[in-house]
Structure 1
């Protein structure tokens, strides 16, 4: 009577063992229940079956491109020529099941995702999908970087502004990720271009601090005995930041300011009031003498002064002749030629060092009026040109030659002239030069130096 329970118990054990080993054998090459890859149930599948099932499911799933909650395009991974090689992933999952532990793992969920490295697409097909999406990217709004602006109380940061221009490379990556993850939707907004600079960027905060410091810089120019302080309002106007968020200076604004200083102080191209030898003040037009600020060179300098943020007092660069730190223009050493009296004086340090009668240009070839300067001295020169009075070319040897303009007018000896002064210029006038008695010219040549102003007036 006692053998029957023993037989029943032994039978049960045998049945359980048979079930355990049978199921273990069954799951040795199959996935356990509750196993998914990329959201696809592969329970009870072999690796080969799971690969076929997941690959087919991924390829056939429809993915929608949406923007602002509306679908604007749709495609399937098959349209992209997707090739998913998840064999290694499946084999790893299978190995991790430890088939003989299946009773323990039976009721656990086992979810996995295919790594991006196991997915490839046809790049041409992907480019075609992107081209089909109605993005109209050229007409979209690009994001705006945060920037520094001039406020009522100094500089402040204007926050960045979002746009809807699409980063196509980012959209490609988002589409690929959606394919692999088995997602059914790609939001274009996830691929919008982002501002490079945001309001909390430390570079911008440092820039604001630096700009506030730079506006306190005192920059002074000493020009011809006068002092010009660069207005701090101008510095504030010039300062800004470039596309990298770094401090910059507006070159056009600096150039315009310096051109204003040049117009105010420069003497080149300026009509001058001149106190003549006879005590009368005459207006003398511009000639070759005078100076202007070297605006282009000084622009670079002023920009560097602003960016350095250090107080500075300097004399600006200039071009031309006749610059005097004390504000003098012609100065006290110069040559005066009075065409109306046909007379010439050489003043040295304010006193007459030499004077003489001269013969100026003939009425057909008049001597130009203006403020010039002696830019060269030459002995035994041959003057060449065309004489409209004789309608012939000429070559005139002279012992002393001092040109004063760029057209061939100068001061020289003239041994061919029998007389000087008076109205002799009306009939025997030169081709524009100041004819000087030979002996006087020799003396003047020895006394004068290059750079001396020559004032010719009538």
Structure 2
């Protein structure tokens, strides 16, 4: 056999040494990567190349320790909950070992440098009891920072009814918030939004509530009326505040006027302004002002029932008007002094009658009133209204015809009397009438043409004694 050359021998030795070295390196690598992860291995986002199982577990614990849950609240403020607060700890479930076992250590030589990412369960525990403690420490649960929700409501601003919008507030539902935080932690979420999770307490009634908007519209409609009752020198007004006090809410949810209260208001208006048959202050033609006694039939009387009905209708229709009540009886002037400036005035002791029109004296005349000696005195001391107006009247009882007849108190009235030629003085004491006011023809004519039915006739005995002797005989025309 032919001997190898020296150089060949050397070459053979070198090759053998190289092969041994390669095999050694491979075996060493295989052994190394049986306990270490290949370079480029990423587990749960952590670079685990050249790391042992224990080192990877330590990294997983570190990663859990870095956990932060960011909480976004209603006002845009954020707060953070950390792993340390939660006392989070890694739980070894063998997942890392399993990944290493699945790694083919013998194939390390072809796997090195090829990055590979893995996901494995990174189980952990945390102290659930700390959730309540953490919540107690959060800014959003501090009493000073919490605004409770408030319902929308109806408000009277003085000129109208309006809806005050609800307040959303920032009060969290504690139980729902606890559950949301636990769910976020346990599922590994890094952020939660309390608004999106609908964790805030809500107002029960919103400004969009249909029933409340209907109620406001109804209230504003019913309180829109403004009704002024004009009594010439004074007024009585039904305004918003008055109407508001009359409203009540029925069982059907609708508002209505309390008719008894409306009637009571009208009754009070009548009490304040009715004058029919009441005392009257009167400034006499003789100078002094006297108080005429109650008992006459002149003045104003409000028809309370009809006025109440008209008022209710006006309010319901939202009318804005100046008006007058419905009257049963009317005087001639609606001022406090309802006698006005057109009237007839008679003084028994002076046997004088005056007639004024619009404040101007048109007649001053002597008269003859009821016969004092026979008990036919002319009633005095009050205000009466002219009840009728008749020309060429015939008094059948006495077969007397008069040109002008103005009765004002039953059969007592003002009239001319052709058979009487003298007037005034003391005639009435012994030769007076049967209660009427006998008047000269010319004066009677002027008065007849000046006054109308309903005008006041004031009769007083004297300025010192307003009410004179009461007649003992029934007054009869004549």
Q: TM-score, normalised by structure 1?
A: 0.49
Larger radius of gyration: 2
